[in-house]
Structure 1
């Protein structure tokens, strides 16, 4: 589950599965690694803004569109409505699958898509290209979030970056010694902590196993943990089935993971920075690190519906949510690194961006951001087929028994 920054926030939080494969735009940033096989419809981005339509209908993760109704102190929607005249109607989605389903209805203007949703929306023509020139605050988005595989295709931008986070290794400093620097502690060495290992409850976690095998099994020739041929995929699944014997609990609810580390029921496993912070604040003796093999991670993108009835208000919203003040607010409330570089000067916690490595592009270079596995291998191979996401879902059920 994606989580809200505040433990007290009574908001339902959606389960994230994984993220896309797409290409580049003409702004600064990365370049596509492999997009062969992804052929979205030939849609054109809006060339200019017209009059706002008076409302905008959004699909979003909990904590992304706050108007004070969940917490009177948390509100970046009301000022948007006053400034633009666009009334915000938001729908919290519980999963990426739900986001895709809702976007296909044509009733929504924009969505805060994770990559698995964004790739499907792009390929199906449900998401429209975006004109970043119509989003003034885009210029201040960190370069490492622009032109990436989860928000652009073949030189065309399909979304506006919202924020990012890495999946870390958390361990009990009193029970796990020596301090681990490798994912081996939850894979090949997991039996040492049998019954007290925890793992993220989602098919996306197969990529974590693949990332570890990329470093430890060079014979498998894994280049991209989201581009696995059958042999590579089987190896990752086998590793996770062996790990399952030592897992005490798979977590999706961040409160359960915090509680498990406080009680000692869990002593080592995957986590997010915000969970580590909360666990430490509540007295758990924990540390969270990026292991030497690197880590997986997530980044969300605001995408425009190709059927948007209120596209001008949607563009206004995309610009607003990445404006320095609003982006700082949502980053702190949700628990992530903001997308806008100027947001770092406006967070209430002054070292927020340092803690979440917002501007540390070297840190993110070791992060394999979630992508959606498709048959056309995302690592550029054309002589084989890779295992698509549907089979990841089936395998995850088998892994957990």
Structure 2
């Protein structure tokens, strides 16, 4: 089970502010708050499988029975298609981006902070969703979104999603929180016992809170921040730092901290909250009134794929109802296929993870790579690119 998502890119970013974020590109601004990626076309027809497929995946996304004999959706795929699966497990989005640039891999399970980089750099090709029969059953709210498409052109097949929640110790935090103010403006009440996700993308969490608590800043999208908005988010996080016990990226450490009381309130994921409760920690996790940030992963095909037909077959397989249900339960996230919920072994799973709860997901702002062309559509200002977020995160943590 993969329970870490380490983000960040320390390479220099050029004018587009994402295309050169770990590689060059001929992309240009489209003037509409997005960009024009390199001219690539989607595969038109599905041919005979090439005998193998090389994947880059998060741990838990391409299980072959080696971790748990009962958890294996690779060998059935190989038997059905004749495509041998070779998987490179990546620990960070930056690693995925770098590996895709080698041209040695056919597909990748990219998170939203990496997907736009891969599109802009020309490393990911548009996908022909007509070659993925199971695409029709993907929740519509996951299709052609700003983190997996450009100007309505799909660049991947949605895999699953999750929200970054607020978890607290029910015996130490009273009254029960309903707002992110508990870890920002009111964090001093729990000084030395507040925890936060250790990633530059966490700046978006502060921006989301400010969009509600300080509407005069005009924040419409937590990933589209002009300099004034960005500075306000950074200032909020620097103030929060005085109350932080630790920034977490290891789920085991977070569970341990909540069990011991070293941490009593902070960000988490539903699966972590479930595990903490199963270990008798007195915790509860909520989606605060302001909403939350979150992730949505997308299977993307390499523009240099040597085994594109097997890659398309894999994408169709991994989002098929039964397999997508298995992946979601093993990993701990909401499945992308709307038919998967009827096939989970835990019949309450999709309810717990809000899989079909669209009003819930409308409150979740999925990770998206910040670029200079403001993603909220503004053209009269430049937004702060992700490389600046990474630099600021270092100063926030001190």
TM range (shorter): over 0.9
Equivalent in 300, 306, 320 of residue 303 of structure 2: 306
Residue of structure 2 equivalent to 1:195: 192
Residue of structure 1 equivalent to 2:13: none
The CA deviation at 1:14 is: 4.6
The within-5 A match list for 1:125-274 is 125-274=122-271
Q: Which runs of 5+ in 2 are unaligned?
A: 10-16, 19-30
Distance 1:14 1:66 in 2: 18
The CA deviation at 1:205 is: 0.3
> What is the TM-score normalised by the length of structure 1?
0.93
1:15 aligns with 2:6: yes
1:324 aligns with 2:315: no
The CA deviation at 1:37 is: 4.3
* Contact 1:14-1:62 at 8 Å conserved across structures: no
Q: Secondary structure at the match of 2:168?
A: strand
Q: Secondary structure at the match of 1:184?
A: helix
The CA deviation at 1:155 is: 1.8
* Contact 1:14-1:93 at 8 Å conserved across structures: no
Distance 1:326 1:161 in 2: 14
* Contact 2:167-2:285 at 8 Å conserved across structures: yes
Q: Secondary structure at the match of 2:200?
A: coil
Equivalent in 119, 122, 126 of residue 119 of structure 2: 122
Q: Deviations over 1:357-396 (max 9, x none)?
A: 0001000001111111101111111111110000000000
Residue of structure 2 equivalent to 1:387: 384
Q: Deviations over 1:316-371 (max 9, x none)?
A: 00000000111011101110000011111111111100000000100000111111
Cα 1:114–1:244 change in 2 (3 A) is: same
The CA deviation at 1:218 is: 1.2
**Number of equivalences:** 379
Q: Deviations over 1:79-132 (max 9, x none)?
A: 000000000000011111110100000000000001121101100111000000
* Contact 2:33-2:378 at 8 Å conserved across structures: no
1:336 aligns with 2:333: yes
Aligned residues: CA RMSD: 1.4
- Flag as ranges the 4+ runs of structure 1 deviating above 6 A: none
Distance 2:67 2:6 in 1: 20
The CA deviation at 1:42 is: 1.3
Residue of structure 2 equivalent to 1:30: none
Residue of structure 2 equivalent to 1:93: 90
The CA deviation at 1:4 is: 3.1
Distance 1:157 1:228 in 2: 25
* Contact 1:36-1:376 at 8 Å conserved across structures: yes
Equivalent in 351, 373, 379 of residue 376 of structure 1: 373
Distance 1:138 1:147 in 2: 12
The within-5 A match list for 1:281-300 is 281-300=278-297
Q: Which runs of 5+ in 1 are unaligned?
A: 6-12, 22-33
The CA deviation at 1:17 is: 4.9
Distance 1:63 1:377 in 2: 33
The within-5 A match list for 1:338-357 is 338-357=335-354
Distance 1:309 1:337 in 2: 31
Residue of structure 2 equivalent to 1:27: none
Residue of structure 1 equivalent to 2:109: 112
Residue of structure 1 equivalent to 2:2: 4
Distance 2:152 2:261 in 1: 49
Q: Secondary structure at the match of 2:299?
A: strand
